[in-house]
Structure 1
Amino acid sequence: MRILIINTSEKTGGAAVASNRLLSALNNNGVKAKMLVRNKETDHLSVVSLSQPLKQKWNFLWERFCIFLHLHLSKKGLFDIDIANTGCDITRTKEFLEADIIHLEWINQGMLSLKNIRKILESGKPVVWTMHDLWPATALCHYARGCIAFKTSCKRCQLLPHHGSMNDLSARIWAQKQKTYSKGRIHFVCCSNWLAQQAKQSGLLKGHSITSIPNPIDTHIFHPINKNEAREALSLPKDKHILLFVSQKVTNERKGVHHLINAIKELTALHPQLKNTLAVALMGGSADEVTSQLPVETFSLGYISDDKSLVNAYNAADLFVIPSLEDNLPNTIMEALACGVPCVGFNIGGIPEMINHKVNGYIALPKSAKSLAEGINWVLSHPNKNELAQQAVAKVNQNYSQQGVAMRYINLYNEALARKIYKL
């Protein structure tokens, strides 16, 4: 069986990380898998980049320019929506022609247009599409932010100037997606049960199969190591509790760093001694913009992409906090748990599927700095840290192992091939 995974980037972003891990999991379990990307960042033989890099850059810029015009020349929200009006026809590539299954992942920002997706469906090859966010089930947005229009049909979009109109950009892209999806059967996969429940309510996805399969992680790479050695490698103090926060861009509003700041202020007001015994490590871009706002010693680790440094960062921490306001199945939680680090997060999205309350971490009330502070304090004051670490690792081994996730995808591929052969 030959699988072609398609994702915009090879390594940048959560979807790219998850796609790479699935690529490895499949190849390690008897499947011949390749990944086609726009941005190739390594010399990995199983990863192939699109040709004509200047054309790919133009596709990216043209889509942003069109969105910029629809936003009335405003940069606000420029990357919150995608319209897939330009992309690359991959149906003539060697990798596409050789593949038995086409597996779409995150294909936005000029990688594939709706026209390109229509050609893929018209080729007759079975298509699996892993949803890393809600974009395949909405007109424009990646996260609904409380909007329920996608359950029937998108229009009057809250992300457009003046909340759009009855025939705004979202209504037109919705109609285009409906036409595209009618060209063939798509097997949609959601990384979390939360996202699957949302997807099943979408008016766009009616008639298509929707299932839930989590992302895998390689526990040969992400596993517990000596905490002091990890801290030494990153020049972090050995005599303090370290709280870790991770985001590709620390100041991303959806990642909720302002709730973390307020929680730590509240926590240190109740427990003043923590000002001297607690430190925060921030991993991601723009971390320097936040360090001065925290009432404890803070370390900016910058953006880290290599696995060895990531493993050190997680193992250096006593707890990992993810105050996201909307999230699917964050790789960061999976990575922290695999390294034996208890996690604290809001009862939002797929987060409570990963953190078992007061077992391997703490689930706080949504958007409550007080509840988040209580969760942080619960982990810091837990009498049996080893038990928390063991429960964290056990969660990963039971739910996110490479072999277990690969076998679930292989079963889905076989089902998709059978439906094609027997025209079910």
Structure 2
Amino acid sequence: MPPEETNEKRMRVLIINTSENIGGAAIAANRLMEALKNNGVKAKMLVRDKRTDQITVASLPQSPLLKAKFVWERVCIWKANRFKKHNLFQVDLANTGTDITALPEFKEADVIHLHWINQGFLSLKDIRRIIDSGKPIVWTMHDQWPFTGICHYSGECTKYQTECHHCPLLLHGGGTHDLSAKVFRRKRQMLRGAHIIFVACSRWLEGLARQSALLVGQEVASIPNTINANIFHPMEQVKVRLQCNLPIDKKLLLFGSLKATDPRKGIDYLMEACRILKEKHPELAARVGIVVVGNRADQIRALFPFPVYAIDYVSDEKQMARLYNAVDAYVTPSLEDNLPNTIVEALSCGIPCVGFNVGGIPEMIDHRRNGYLAEARNAEDLAEGIHFTLETAPWEELSAHAVHSALAHYGETNVASKYIAIYKRASEKR
């Protein structure tokens, strides 16, 4: 056995994420752990919110303080916004958390791999303790928070390129010394003298990160999320439709989100696109249906001109794979997104995708080859993309290209090997 392979098998990586499997970052982190394990790395996860009995996932010692820390951070944001719920979950302060450096999982790890650590899991002081431990650190960025003051997505604001203040996500636009300014300065202090390799899940996010004043002098790379093709693969459509209690005589679109009504996920644009589609092609009224998956999905049933099949949020991957295979196209009208797991999942199942030309989505949807890339915030073009995918395009060709692109870019071995190289580079910096 080559020495290099032996060294790789001995590498112990601790993946740190707030949740085990709820939310896009958690799903991506969990899949990476499995991909690393399948490629010779002893990978474990450390989470605050554990939901399974997976032995390679450890959780913080349970205590009422864990929930209290989450609540305290929200209270601080609520107070700063003059007791309004304005963007309460669009920002994070990392002003409270848990010191994990004394945990056995941390001590035995060769590499510390941070992912999404917000909502009271790790504070800035806790992250500094990890830095001071001397262990190699890799930080995968699932949104902009690691390089902004307090926001997960900055929208049109570019203040993070110099220094955050007058945050548009705070009531009345914040101020010169608002929370965003204070946390930005604390992050700058936290990162002083640190050697962290920051990894973006998309080239789009990598480009934004390189512009941040916080990451000057830090290494920034880009590696996509991975997919388990043993779960997400093409299946017989009629069979899975019957299993999912969906009609077999309609062309079905799928929209999915943790919360179906989240404005950032663009549900309003999908509704408008469907209205345009029905107006231009009235014959589709009896032939098209919309499958909406996510919390509060039932609340929007009456807002579509086509029949809606509402399904609560699905955490079981096998059931989600069946739902992808039950539809003819996946529509993701997100207004701002990094590298959505949902697109990777749909493509891997051979389902063409329709989405806006924003964030990392253009890196995933190859226009008119595995789906349709619509002009950002253009409901009419989104409608055109849906019609193209359902009615005019050679669907079998789109499907074949979808599977090929998913395996080529997001396969476990490909992604794991890139991270192993990053881990080695991070270890060499020490």
Structure 2 residue matching 1:82: 3-state secondary structure: coil
Code of the aligned partner of 2:60: L
Of 215, 227, 238, which residue of structure 2 is paired with 1:205? 215
CA distance in structure 2 between the aligned counterparts of 1:265 and 1:361, rounded to whole angstroms: 21
Structure 1 residue matching 2:94: 3-state secondary structure: coil
Matched, 1:121 2:131: yes
CA distance in structure 1 between the aligned counterparts of 2:403 and 2:144, rounded to whole angstroms: 29
1:181 corresponds in structure 2 to 191
**83-92 vs 70-79, which deviates more?**
70-79
The question of whether the paired residues in 2 share the 8 Å contact of 1:7 and 1:19 is answered with yes
Matched, 1:101 2:140: no
2:373 corresponds in structure 1 to 363
CA distance in structure 1 between the aligned counterparts of 2:354 and 2:393, rounded to whole angstroms: 17
Of 246, 261, 284, which residue of structure 1 is paired with 2:294? 284
Code of the aligned partner of 1:321: V
User: Structure 1, residues 139-187: CA drift from partner, whole Å, max 9, x if none?
Assistant: 0000011101000000111111221111111111011000001141110
CA distance in structure 2 between the aligned counterparts of 1:231 and 1:314, rounded to whole angstroms: 10
2:79 corresponds in structure 1 to 69
Structure 2 residue matching 1:144: 3-state secondary structure: coil
Matched, 1:295 2:273: no
2:354 corresponds in structure 1 to 344
Structural mapping, 1:264-343, within 5 Å: 264-343=274-353
Structure 2 runs not aligned, ≥5 long: 1-10
CA distance in structure 2 between the aligned counterparts of 1:231 and 1:301, rounded to whole angstroms: 13
**246-255 vs 179-188, which deviates more?**
179-188
What TM-score, normalized to structure 2?
A: 0.97
1:418 corresponds in structure 2 to 428
Shift of 1:123: 0.7
User: Structure 1, residues 238-282: CA drift from partner, whole Å, max 9, x if none?
Assistant: 000000000110100000000000000000101101110000000
User: Structure 1, residues 77-109: CA drift from partner, whole Å, max 9, x if none?
Assistant: 110100000000000000000001000000000
CA distance in structure 2 between the aligned counterparts of 1:12 and 1:396, rounded to whole angstroms: 22
CA distance in structure 2 between the aligned counterparts of 1:192 and 1:140, rounded to whole angstroms: 20
Matched, 1:409 2:422: no
Of 209, 223, 227, which residue of structure 2 is paired with 1:217? 227
Structure 2 residue matching 1:290: 3-state secondary structure: helix
CA distance in structure 2 between the aligned counterparts of 1:247 and 1:96, rounded to whole angstroms: 33
CA distance in structure 2 between the aligned counterparts of 1:383 and 1:364, rounded to whole angstroms: 15
Shift of 1:371: 0.3
Structure 1 runs not aligned, ≥5 long: none
Matched, 1:253 2:253: no
2:54 corresponds in structure 1 to 44
Shift of 1:307: 1.4
1:242 corresponds in structure 2 to 252
Structure 2 residue matching 1:246: 3-state secondary structure: strand
User: Structure 1, residues 12-46: CA drift from partner, whole Å, max 9, x if none?
Assistant: 10000000000000000000010000000000010
Code of the aligned partner of 2:208: Q
1:147 corresponds in structure 2 to 157
Q: CA RMSD in A?
A: 0.7
The question of whether the paired residues in 1 share the 8 Å contact of 2:86 and 2:171 is answered with no
The question of whether the paired residues in 1 share the 8 Å contact of 2:298 and 2:311 is answered with no
The question of whether the paired residues in 2 share the 8 Å contact of 1:103 and 1:130 is answered with yes
CA distance in structure 1 between the aligned counterparts of 2:395 and 2:89, rounded to whole angstroms: 40
Shift of 1:399: 0.2
CA distance in structure 2 between the aligned counterparts of 1:258 and 1:168, rounded to whole angstroms: 32
Structure 2 residue matching 1:120: 3-state secondary structure: helix
Of 111, 119, 124, which residue of structure 1 is paired with 2:121? 111
Of 2, 6, 28, which residue of structure 1 is paired with 2:38? 28
Of 377, 380, 403, which residue of structure 2 is paired with 1:393? 403
Shift of 1:52: 3.1
1:12 corresponds in structure 2 to 22
1:90 corresponds in structure 2 to 100
1:196 corresponds in structure 2 to 206
Code of the aligned partner of 1:351: I
The question of whether the paired residues in 1 share the 8 Å contact of 2:198 and 2:221 is answered with yes
User: Structure 1, residues 196-235: CA drift from partner, whole Å, max 9, x if none?
Assistant: 0000000011011000000000101100001011111111
CA distance in structure 2 between the aligned counterparts of 1:183 and 1:13, rounded to whole angstroms: 32
CA distance in structure 1 between the aligned counterparts of 2:15 and 2:93, rounded to whole angstroms: 21
CA distance in structure 2 between the aligned counterparts of 1:243 and 1:53, rounded to whole angstroms: 43
